[in-house]
Amino acid sequence: MQNSYIERETITGVVPVLSNERKYSFMDLFLSTSGFAIATWCYTQGAYVAQFLGFKQMLINIFAFNLIWVLVSCLPIFFAVRYGIDLWIWLRAVLGNKGVAILSIVISLANFGWYAVAANLFSSSMINLMKNFGIVLNEDLWNPILGVLCVVLGTLIAIGGPEVIKWTNRFLVVALLVVGVIVFFISITSVPFSEILAVKPVNQEGISALERFMMSAEGNVAFAFSWSTQALVMPRLAKTERSGYWGTTLSYGVVAPFFVATGGVMTLAMFVKTGAYESDPTTMLSVLATPTLGLLSLLLVAFANIGTQGTGSYVNCMIVKSGLPKVSYKLLVIIAMIYVSVLTVWGGVEKYFGAFISLAAYVQGPIIGMILVDYFIIRKRKLSLKSAYNLKGHDAYKYSNGYNIIGLLCILISCVVTMLFVYNPYNGSIKSNIFLFTTGSGFTAILGAVLYYIASTLFKKYMVRDREDLEIV
């Protein structure tokens, strides 16, 4: 009974995973993470970017900003594997135990918006599939029903845990990689390629070419940041630090951007063919592809969203469990299912897509900057696990009744200053030329890192209390 409890709390809880308990090879982690990363929201992201830039600039923007920020933001994966813990356990040293509880819930509530996008894309795929068989479904009725079905099926995968996720993604990812290549080929051959190259950005009135490029970059940096607080959960299951880092960064920094780029190219092709920008990949596939290829692609795109729901639910419920370790994992998964179902029926996330990804990144950005400074400079890659897990007599991370007030203020100040003086993602207004160098989301990470470093120097006795309580690793 005790062994069963420990095993359960190791895989679907917050107990550190010992080296001999880790079952994910590089390929297992790469495929599982890729299955999570290449959901059809990548096509939606690509459609968003394509409105700002032409073909060549779009590709440069997508790959450069995603890869650079992913490589940097995933550096703490080394501690995740070394200690067998995720980012949120380490963040107890940065934010305090109760601070992590609050931020983990806030971040997960934001992250789950992505799964509503995936669920709605599932319903669109299924409705378009039915059209191929001559069955016309009432979209107002069936969109929410099929979207919720996707969430429910994904929840069943999440309840199965990492082993079910691993084997599900072994099939889905290989299939989806093939689909990605097919979709890219469809996009560049369905219309003359010269016409795709000639498409001019639609969102260009009143803004310069550089502003347009950086507004697109803002979307890509925010997209890269959207993985950050989720990326450091599954690597703790990796067998080695190297496989943990590269299995994650290659997924988020290369595979996901490829699918974003494919979505962008598909959007440009759709514009050439119809004269309108479209963000729903299922609609674009129906218009651009031959019936056979369209049917196959739609089928795989549809079921990819179920795998994404499963992986995403596991990862984000693990994030919340880091802040609320006593709450049952299965209960969290059920609550997440209800929450995502409500967002899916509402359908408003897609309507405010650009603002949604930036506002979420404005909270995640400072956390990225702070964790890098804390890991490399302040604590020099050494954490007190005894204090992180609140063992009796070890309260280095208790701070002020469980809250690191200074750490939380660094996040708040970074968000407010960036929104007021650099870039407001809600209305898309550029407040300062700083945005043209850092983007808004990038600036939150830089400012958060700087503020946290200065605070740790000025208030060292408050911020760094664990040096006498370190683990030997």
Contact present, 397 and 466 (Cβ < 8 Å): yes
Type of residue at 81: V
Whether residue 223 has pLDDT greater than 70: yes
Q: Which of 244, 319, 361 minimizes the C-alpha distance to 86?
A: 319
pLDDT exceeds cutoff 70 at 12: no
CB 243 within 8 A of CB 25: yes
Contact yes or no for 162/236 (Cβ under 8 A) = no
Residue 333, CA atoms < 13 Å, CB-side half-sphere: 24
Other beta carbons within 10 Å of 420: 11
What is the rounded distance in angstroms from the CA atom of residue 137 to the CA atom of residue 151? 20
Residue with the larger pLDDT of the pair 132 and 102: 102
State how far the Cα of 343 lies from the Cα of 434, in Å rounded to an integer: 34
Average pLDDT, the chain: 83
pTM of the model: 0.82
Q: How confident is the model at residue 473 (pLDDT cuts 50, 70, 90)?
A: very low
Distance of CA 64 to the CA centre of its chain: 17
Nearest CA among 343, 403, 449 for reference residue 98 = 403
- Higher-confidence residue of 406 and 299: namely 406
Instruction: Give the other-Cβ count within 10 Å of 375's Cβ.
Output: 21
For residues 289 and 282, give the distance between their C-alpha atoms in angstroms, rounded to a whole number: 10
Strands 429-430 vs 423-424: parallel, antiparallel or unpaired: antiparallel
DSSP-derived 3-state class of residue 79: helix
Residues 143, 123 contacting (CB under 8 angstroms): yes
pLDDT at 138 over 80: yes
Model confidence at 146: pLDDT above 80? yes
- What is the average pLDDT across 393-419? 93
- Tell me how many degrees the CA angle 76-80-85 measures, rounded to the nearest 5: 140
Burial level of 284, CB count in 10 A (0-12/13-18/19+)?
A: buried
Q: Report the alpha-carbon distance of residue 379 to residue 231 in Å, rounded.
A: 21
pLDDT of residue 284: 77
pLDDT at 234: 76
Contact 73, 369 (CB under 8 A): no
Q: Which pLDDT does position 205 carry in this prediction?
A: 66
| Distance (Å, whole) CA 262 – CA 305 | 17
Distances in Å between the Cα of 145 and the Cα atoms of 142, 283, 319, 361 are 5, 19, 28, 30
Are 112 and 316 contacting, i.e. CB atoms less than 8 angstroms apart? yes
Q: List, in sequence order, the alpha helices (H) in 51-96.
A: 55-73, 77-83, 87-95
Type of residue at 215 = M
pLDDT at 100 over 60: yes
pLDDT at 467 over 70: yes
Specify whether the CB–CB gap between 84 and 17 falls below 8 A.
yes
- Each residue's pLDDT tens digit, 333-387: 999 999 999 999 987 777 766 666 667 778 889 999 999 999 899 998 888 888 8
For 107, phi then psi, to 5°, come to -65, -45
Tens of pLDDT, residues 261-303: 988 998 999 899 888 877 777 677 778 877 666 666 667 667 7
104 C-beta neighbours (distance < 10 Å), count: 23
| 6 has pLDDT over 90 | no
Distances (CA, A) of 340 to 136, 144, 356: 26, 11, 15
DSSP H helical ranges for 289-395: 291-323, 329-346, 353-373, 385-388
Q: What is the 3-state secondary structure (H, E, C) of 392-421?
A: CCCCCCCCECCECHHHHHHHHHHHHHHHHH
**What confidence score (pLDDT) does residue 101 get?**
87
pLDDT surpasses 90 at 117: no
Return the DSSP state at 468.
G
pLDDT at 13 over 60: no
